[in-house]
Amino acid sequence: MFSERILRVLERLGGVSAATAVRARLAPRTEPAPPRFRVEREADAGRIAAWWESRDPAGRDQLADPHTIATLPAYAANIENMIGTVKLPVGVVGPLRVNGLHAQGDYLVPLATTEAALVASYARGAHLITRAGGASAAMLSEGVLRSPAFLFADMVEAGTFVGWAAANAGRLRVAAEATTRHGKLEAIDPFIDNDTVFLVCRYTTGDAAGQNMVTIATDALCRAVLEGCPVQPRAWFIEGNFSGDKKASYLGLITGRGRKVSASVLIPEALVRRCLHVGVDRMLDYARVAQLGAMLSGQIGAQGHYANGLAAFYIATGQDAACVAESAVGFTRMERRDDGLFMSVTLPNLLVGSVGGGTGLPAQRAALELMGLAGTGKAAALAEVVASLCLAGEISIMAAIAAGDFTRAHHSLARTRT
């Protein structure tokens, strides 16, 4: 009746007999906690030294090493309560040839990861793309969302509110854009659920990923609404949890959130065979199964492992790694074409910037500069490189699985000792 698996779980939990003991473990405890670590915005060497004083010096040496201490001021605007830095190894993939609307060139792509075989796998795909003449890539749209919510007395007020906002859209745009040099309000889409209104505000954000920028602009927009609108909400919230910020969502898949980029490549069958040790037909067999598996298990979109490349790239280049949750969504397609393998990826939710966030930190900026993509005017090219990188990763993993190499690669590169 109950599956064995559930029974084993329950057994581990101790079962009914252990309920009293379990209750004791889970109950609130009122004894005083150690003094809390007060929020400190400044990253100060003395304070960090003091904090480590009573703690494990080996830990201090790894987190608060001299190099970190020497670059402390660089971190001041990016963190609170700083006690050191964590180091992630960076491997290089490439040259990855990208023929993009914005990106043009052979890029060395830095990836920060602690997972063995990941860099090797992306490097294999990148090599193949480059040999095939490069990935065609284009940023198709952009638009970061904020979606404030407004609660009204009833549907009539909700409708009146939306009507007023539409009639005064110009004024709202002015208010929003006054807060930012680079952000532009592109569209407001109202969504009404009876007495509740979400205003989905869509911005372009220049070269920044722009999540803070759109928050501040939308706050100003909301205040302009509240000042001018004849009906007032009984409550309002700057974000109605509708925008998909840091969450995979169908809204993001359908309308895009962040930069939407597509990349593709056409690889002659001979090259597929030589580099990937597998034929095109078998790749296509796997593509069909992989798409079926994605749909049957309820994934948003259908792809292999965008998250691997995105996380490694985001961390290496100072992007917001939490955005992997929303960015790792999209479609990978394979088709036979012109006696070769056509392959494309489309990622509708890339949250990447060449300025802002962690892109100015010392190592992160150095990583961006390896690609020549640090600073103003580079975000669109950056997005196209990321999509091309994901394309490389998809080719490599799908070939590894199709050829039966996947496990062996993990065995030898990961040297797993489990």
Please give the positions annotated as active site: 115, 246, 320, 410
Least distance (Å) between residue 315 CB and its own copies: 6
Residue 286 binds its own copies, judged by CB under 8 A = yes
Nearer residue to its own copies within complex by CB, 27 or 227:
27
174-179: long-range contacts, CB 8 A cutoff, minimum separation 24: 174/224, 175/220, 175/221, 175/223, 175/224, 176/201, 176/203, 176/217, 176/218, 176/220, 176/221, 176/224, 177/217, 178/220, 179/213, 179/216, 179/217, 179/219, 179/220
Minimum Å gap between C-beta 66 and its own copies is 7
Out of 44, 212, 271, 279, the only residue in the binding site for its own copies (CB under 8 A) is 212
For residue 83, the minimal CB distance to its own copies (Å) is 5
End-to-end CA distance of the chain: 33
Task: Examine residue 174 and tell whether it contacts its own copies (CB under 8 A).
Answer: no
State the Cα–Cα distance between residues 108 and 126, nearest whole angstrom. Answer: 10
List the x/- string, 240-279, binding to its own copies by CB under 8 A: xxxxxxxxxxxx-xxx------x-xxx-------------
Nearest distance, CB of residue 270 and its own copies, angstroms: 15
Residue 142 sits in the site that holds its own copies (CB under 8 A):
yes
Q: Residues 314-353: x/- map of binding to its own copies (CB under 8 A)?
A: -xx-x-xxxxxxx-xx-x-x-x--------x-x-------
Using CA atoms, how far apart are residues 92 and 18, in angstroms rounded to an integer? 52
| Distance of alpha carbon 375 from alpha carbon 236, whole angstroms | 36
Out of 155, 271, 279, 375, the residue judged to bind its own copies by CB under 8 A: 155
Contacts to its own copies from residues 298-317, by CB under 8 A = 298-308, 310-312, 315-316
Size of the site for its own copies (CB under 8 A): 235
Residues 382-411 that bind its own copies (CB under 8 A): 401-402, 404, 406-407, 410-411
- Please identify, using beta-carbon distances, which residue of 264 and 382 lies nearer to its own copies: 264
Of residues 66 through 85, those in contact with its own copies by CB under 8 A are 66-68, 71, 75, 77-85
CA dist 154 and 147 (Å) reads 20
- Asked whether the CA dihedral 379, 382, 384, 390 is positive or negative, the reply is negative
Query: Which tokens hold the place of 37?
Result: 């670590």
Least distance from its own copies to the Cβ atom of residue 172, Å: 7
Judged on CB neighbours under 10 Å (0-12, 13-18, 19+), 46 is exposed
Cα 176 from Cα 188, distance rounded (Å): 11
